[in-house]
């Protein structure tokens, strides 16, 4: 079990590093990881929606469908929180790039 936790952390950390560069595929992979609980991650639909949203805004076509599918399982408040988190991510990383 400890190895699966390390694997999950490594996956998330490596994808976060790629996401910080603006990689839509990394955004999508993070959305998948959080929406499915893959690689030992906990399912977190707010995080998944955030990453699918960032991927969709960046032009990743499949992510818009995934975002819509998980939104059906979320409350309006959860979706609003995911959208706030996505905007915060964009704001933080656009300042770093400037």
Sequential DSSP letters for 66-77:
HHHHHHTTS-HH
Give the C-alpha separation, 66 to 49, whole Å.
8
pLDDT value of residue 97: 54
Q: What's the domain range around 30?
A: 2-97
Average pLDDT over residues 60-67: 96
> In the chain, how many domains are there?
1
Residue 41: how many other CB atoms lie within 10 Å: 22
pLDDT value of residue 39: 67
Distant-in-sequence, close-in-space partners of 45: CB < 8 Å, separation ≥ 6: 34, 35, 70, 73, 74, 78, 82
pLDDT value of residue 83: 97
The confidence band for 3, taking pLDDT boundaries of 50, 70 and 90, is low
pLDDT digits (tens, 9 = 90+) for 8-61: 778 788 999 999 999 999 999 999 999 998 867 789 999 999 999 999 999 999
Give the C-alpha separation, 69 to 66, whole Å.
5
């Amino acid at each position: 079990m400890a190895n699966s936790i390390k694997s999950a952390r490594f996956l998330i950390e490596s994808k976060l590093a790629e996401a910080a560069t603006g990689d839509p595929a990394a955004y999508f992979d993070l959305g998948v990881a959080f929406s499915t609980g893959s690689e030992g991650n906990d399912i977190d639909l707010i995080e998944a929606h955030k990453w699918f949203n960032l991927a969709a805004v960046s032009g990743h076509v499949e992510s818009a469908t995934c975002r819509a599918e998980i939104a059906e399982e979320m409350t309006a408040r959860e979706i609003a929180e995911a959208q706030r988190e996505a905007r915060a991510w964009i704001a933080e990383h656009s300042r770093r790039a400037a």
